[in-house]
Amino acid sequence: MNTVHYDVIVIGAGFAGLTAARELSHAGRRVLVLEARDRIGGRTWLDERMGMDLELGGTWVHWTQPHVWAELARYGIGLAPSPEPQNASWWNGSEIVHGSPDELFELLDQPNELLTARAREVFPRPFAPLESPLLSAFDSVSLLDEIEMLPIREDQRSLLESFWTLNFNGRLDDAAFTQALRWVALTNGDWKINFEACATYKIAGGTRALADAIWADSVADIVLGADVRSVVTTDSNVTVRTSAGASYDAAEVVLAVPLQTVDRVAVEPAFPPAVSDAVERGQLGLGTKIWFTIDGEHPPFVALGAADWPLNFLQSEYVHGGKTFVIGFGRDATAIDPADTGAVQDALTRLLPGLTVVESNGHDWVADVYARETWPMHRTGFLTSSLAELQRPHGHVRLAGSDLADGWGGFIDGAIESGLKVARSILTTSHLAAAQTAH
């Protein structure tokens, strides 16, 4: 088999990989994208389920996110707002309370204001987190410990813990306080705007519309179903091999895959210990996102349960065909099967008794070998011990992805930011090499 030669091989066709491929191909580089799945989009996936196109992964965007907002403007793609909730239910630590969304947010307001009061102080320039003079003092601090120390009522503490369990889509045992502060600093220290950014505005046409637009704007080649298993650097050449035995050569490689899947690829020379340690330690986004329908067309609602419930947050999204479509999130993907309608019914009844689940669906990103995580949320010490090493070039191999973003880590915006920066790094380095060769 003849080996095909490229200037750059991008491994992974999520938003980081697609962005990097577009930028590099626009700059005249011959680029190949190798994607293990049979589709582009990575941990975003608009797919038809239960009779509707539903976002199974990353979904929401916001104008406080500069990179994704610029892409939407570039391609003339608009927004599709989620419905504004009319009703709210929540667990106060001993019973379910029903009220208005304003009442629920009022209960969360003071605790979140106290918790995130120093967000802009710790991250005065939130897109340059490693330049914070307070980073070393805060990065080892546990978010759960900070919540425990707040002078608030126990019902508010229960709500606050569940709220941040939702944000992390995982357990808070080793959650970094700096991750919470980074998120809120990105919306100028306002936790309410931050929450709006997390779950209010979708992309018109779905995430697929933006992924397709970025890819259509590229002149890179792509191979789908290409499960890369090794990346070997010899002198100035990098050889990439897939599980099917295909081989490709390039001068540079971008490994744009979720952090917890980096160890699926045998990289030679091996990454330094700081990288392998970060991969082994992993991220905290190990939860679930489940879509289900309930019988009847109900006014929009939100519901927040206890942090350790299989589904601790519910948000109704669509009304169609006599049914209401609801999104549920939980911290542990192993605690509930998206296809187990009975288990989903039990989880719903805990929060909203009297409603009937018709069907349920979803995708287990944690069990997915090409993801192994949902959205990336950092453990304590990640910024000080891992981020800089993950971001720097390792010979002719660079990592990219939302896990590595300086700004909106865990969002589409962060993936696009990382793809832009890694492409610029390659172009700058190759320009310097060309100049040195010329002299």
Same domain assignment for residues 107 and 240: no
258 is a domain residue: yes
d(CA 369, CA 375): 15
Mean pLDDT of the chain: 96
Residue-wise pLDDT tens digits, 68-96: 999 999 999 999 999 999 999 999 999 99
Q: How confident is the model at residue 12 (pLDDT cuts 50, 70, 90)?
A: very high
- Is the predicted pLDDT of residue 436 greater than 70, yes or no? no
Same domain assignment for residues 87 and 166: yes
Instruction: Measure the CA dihedral 67/69/70/76, to 10°.
Output: 150
What is the count of structural domains for the chain?
Answer: 2
d(CA 290, CA 345): 12
Question: Between helices 15-26 and 207-216, what is the axis angle to 10°?
Answer: 20
Same domain assignment for residues 187 and 334: yes
CATH of the domain at 32: 3.50.50.60
Q: Which residue has the tokens 């191909």?
A: 25
The parent domain of residue 403 ranges over 5-43+206-280+381-438
273 is a domain residue: yes
Residue 267, φ and ψ in degrees, nearest 5:
-105, 125
Same domain assignment for residues 232 and 185: no
333 is a domain residue: yes
Same domain assignment for residues 210 and 355: no
- Is the predicted pLDDT of residue 377 greater than 90, yes or no? yes
How many CB atoms are located within 10 Å of the residue 21 CB? 31
| Mean pLDDT, rounded, for 16-40 | 98
- Is the predicted pLDDT of residue 2 greater than 80, yes or no? no
Same domain assignment for residues 253 and 268: yes
Same domain assignment for residues 303 and 350: yes
CATH of the domain at 333: 3.90.660.10
Beta bridge partners of 255: 11, 399
Tokens of 319: 């009304």
Same domain assignment for residues 211 and 258: yes
d(CA 223, CA 33): 6
How many CB atoms are located within 10 Å of the residue 285 CB? 26
Last residue of a domain, one of 336, 364, 392: 364
Residue-wise pLDDT tens digits, 389-433: 999 999 999 999 999 999 999 999 999 999 999 999 999 986 545
The percent of residues in the chain predicted with pLDDT above 70, rounded, is 97
129 is a domain residue: yes
- Is the predicted pLDDT of residue 1 greater than 90, yes or no? no
* pTM assigned to the model: 0.96
SS3 221: strand
137 is a domain residue: yes
Same domain assignment for residues 259 and 395: yes
d(CA 50, CA 56): 12
Among residues 329, 324, 289, the alpha carbon closest in space to that of 307 is found at 329
